[in-house]
Amino acid sequence: MVSTSLPGGTWTLGDLTVTRFGYGAMQLAGPWVMGPPADHHGALAVLREAVELGITHIDTADAYGPHVTNRLIREALHPYPRDLHVVTKVGADRDAQGGWPPARDPAALRRAVHDNLRNLGLDVLDLVNLRLGDAEGRRPESVAEAFGTLADLRRDGLIRHLGVSNATAEQVAEARAVAPVVCVQNMYNLAHRDDDELIDTLAADGIAYVPFFPLGGFSPLQSSTLSSVATRLGATPMAVALAWLLQRSPNILLIPGTSSVTHLRENIAGAGLVLTPGDLDELSVIRWAGTADESGVDHR
């Protein structure tokens, strides 16, 4: 078992031990997750600092850029430390307008897995999430064929573990009937808690829940209640939001994104904040009726 001093300790994804405090690489690409970063060396520095600080879980996708974040991860960290696990996603392409068109037919999925392997410089991908839905959010589509394709690639030895993203509870169940699911990556944060029941069900089954947009993503979390709790505790709203997630359930893994070494350090320091039952009660009134996804579209 790998030990860590990072807040939250560790979790085991299949047979991979990861720090519950991970790092989401999406924001390292250019504006709206297209093209190269404005500061190439700064992006490499953030990735190296994440590993230096003990993070062993980096979340990415070859659609980021496209190909940009995976190549940055390779440039910054290859050959990878043995305990580092890079988790990627397949199931969406990018178009010239920066959209995220679904790409879940068998040929597209196979191509995406090989693109990830090549751009990350790996022979086997530790964990691949099948990204479902579209720019409007989750969709009640069947996942059996697409997940079956990834299960075949897993049997071929190209993937160790599988997960799903942007998935409804029904889609998680359908995927689990095809192959083991070790994590579900959906949008969830202090203000967006549609998945409360799903999180508890997954926790009971030992499956990780990885909230994307833990800090609100393209629309940073804003709430007077959050600000007042943070001020009372002498912390930042980001620290409270991350600490709340770690305390929400032991199966929650954090992948906050940042392009700043300073913010990365602040987030690690802040996530260890201990919230009392009184703080949690106060925070429980926060609700935001909107939804947004990787496209950055705010659907309020």
Q: Which residues bind ligand NAP (CB under 6 A)?
A: 24-27, 59, 89, 131, 165-166, 185, 212-217, 220, 238, 255-260, 263, 266-267, 293-294
Of the pair 24, 153, the CB lying nearest ligand NAP is at: 24
Q: Least Å distance between CB 1 and ligand NAP?
A: 25
Of the pair 8, 24, the CB lying nearest ligand NAP is at: 24
> Catalytic one among 23, 64, 80, 188?
64
Is 64 considered catalytic here? yes
Q: Least Å distance between CB 193 and ligand NAP?
A: 15
CB 24 within 8 A of CB 267: no
Amino acid identity, residue 241? A
Question: Which two tokens mark 36?
Answer: 């190269």
Of the pair 139, 155, the CB lying nearest ligand NAP is at: 139
Q: Least Å distance between CB 100 and ligand NAP?
A: 8
Of the pair 225, 260, the CB lying nearest ligand NAP is at: 260
Long-range contacts of 290-294 (CB under 8 A, 24+ apart): 290/192, 290/219, 291/137, 291/187, 291/192, 292/187, 292/213, 292/217, 292/218, 292/219, 293/100, 293/133, 293/135, 293/136, 293/137, 293/166, 293/187, 294/26, 294/33, 294/92, 294/100, 294/212
Q: Least Å distance between CB 296 and ligand NAP?
A: 8
Of the pair 35, 156, the CB lying nearest ligand NAP is at: 35
Catalytic residues: 64
